[in-house]
Chain A
Amino acid sequence: MRPILEVCELKKTFPITSGMFRKSAGVLKAVDGVDLAILPNETLGLVGESGCGKTTLSKMILALEEPDSGSIRFEGVDVVRARGSSLSQVRRGIQVVFQDPFGSLNPRRKIGSIIEEPMIIHREGARTQRAKRVRELLEMVGLHEDILPRYPHEFSGGQRQRICIARALAVNPRLLICDEPVSALDVSIQAQVINLLVELQKELKLSYLFISHNLSVVGYISHRVAVMYKGRIVELADAPALFENPLHPYTGCLMDAVPEARPRKSPAFRPQRRGGDQDSSGLSSGCAYRAWCPRAGGICAQEPPLLQEKGKGHFVACHLADPQG
């Protein structure tokens, strides 16, 4: 099957400035050579800690940020170089749902006009057709049409996230980028929104790029999962394979850190103190993770590991990863 989205060798750096005259103090490699592909009707989960480049990557896919190098192709169209009508076609095909449903709805506009707006921007349908479509969308996300003349502040987080999803679906996108769509919601509401996303995918044959730091949510909703660390994909595999047999030490560390909703059997909770907080800007060559890696050897300091297939469909960027264990 042809992928709906192909990301190739994507790079983006931001200048770090300091001091009074904004002297350049180096560059931050936010996204450092990322390759990704999303198939039609597939959910690709993207996990990683804050600052690893998840959001920068999604912004480039949405053509909101220009990459330094590399290419992004959505349904055959070059997203980076798209202008005019082809750009508008890309923007229509890729929609986004943001993390904070309180900040992403305009408080001064009514729900009806919020959901209708994307159709107006993309010049879709006459007024009556649009009104009909808004009602359809509301039904799709499980809201009643009575809410059309109301304002965002009257709704709870879960309801607002449904409104955001309805707005994103208004122009019939094929790919939905969900940037932490449930992390601002309560557990019971989170489950409702996840179920809704799964249903909508079946119904509308959507693809999702599901960005989250919550591994259990990603594991539940994704077909494949990519783990990102310091701007690179370090592991990419089918969700079950990744969770049962993580090959990259960082993936293992992330999974150990997730508190399981099961009382501990061992006397105390003692995660290894690695990953997370530290700063690795000093490491210019080799593997970015080697300072915290328990297995790191000589080769790790010399060459950055490339993403290689080590098992069927299981890609890892680690010199020492061994699929047999």
Chain B
Amino acid sequence: MWIETTIAMRFLRQGRGQTLLILFGIAVGVAVIVFVTALISGLQDNIIERTLGTQAHVRVEAPREVNLVAPSAPGTRQLLLEDKRAQALRPIDNWIRVRDVLDTLPHIEAVSPVVSGPAFGRRGNATQSVALVGIDLARYLQVIPLDESMRDGRLDVGSGNAVVGSQLAEDLGLRTGGKLRLDAGDGREAVVNVAGIFQLGVRELDARYVYLDLKQAQSLLALPGGVTVIDVTVDEVFGAEAVAARIRGLTGLQAESWMESNAQLMNALTSQSLSTRMISLFVAMSVALGIASVLAVSVTQRTREIGILRAMGTRRAQMLQVFLVQGAVLGLAGSVIGALAGWGLIGAFNSFGPKLFHIPMPLALIPAAMALATVAGVVAAAVPASRASRLSPVEAIRHA
């Protein structure tokens, strides 16, 4: 390969103008691929992170209550008019055992039992509808990083303490150290001390959530010893659906992944990824066409030299390699420059951009883009290289 590479490099060096022009084209293409892919990937990571900052990857609940319909007698037709059953607040049967099983399952990083239900929050004359969320704080923090969202006070839900959302605090005029009366109906009331105020950034949650100790919430919701939800964190966010399916199969409970509960978001993310791939594909095609056209021109310009090289004993395969190497070198060199430019663009976006989110440096993307451009270079060179190798030395030498 030494002589083929040497000839290829000399040809590229001699056609400096063309070489620089196509290198610039490849570099721009690769920079666009690197930057756009990293940008979209950063944006998606940010959206997912924000979404999953307030909800579990998998939410396990008791199965929904359904009417049991007696089977009709053979040979008869049954007309059924059914009223769906109201879904009363129900605990998960044997939830401690379920929790322990989930703790041992692969791909599950954290399990947090939660009891939640509706109540009213009162202060003075003001009443707000709230959601009581009873948690085992140590476990809950592994699922939802509530501590990162504390705006005021401390995160303490034990001994009659509660933490409330910022919007609820505002609506009821609450501040840290204040008292909040919680009424879950049927005379189940409690006055809790507001230990802290959180702000999750989701208005609905900030206006309704009241975090309590698991036992106090169980007592208020008349579910002594029970939990209504088990939240699960998985090691790979996009593997949540598979884990949910596994939990459903193992426990018979209702397990819903974040992807199911955010179907529209998933749809948007998928569409976004598809658009990115299409952009990359078209840019890669343009790069390949650019390389192909430059090498096609080079074959025409060098027809006589190809004839001379063939007359001197250069084999067809060697001639083919001379132009394939040129394609590969153009692709590789252009992609190195393009990757560096893409890297620079990412750095500039992170430093001087709108700072809405951070784009992580795509370490894996750069070798991938370089490999893609190099392969595209070789593939693009295939047609002109094949033409060069098939030239008859006699015709080539005669070429004016």
Interaction A to B: no
Q: Which residues of A contact B (CB under 8 A)?
A: none
Q: Which residues of B contact A (CB under 8 A)?
A: none
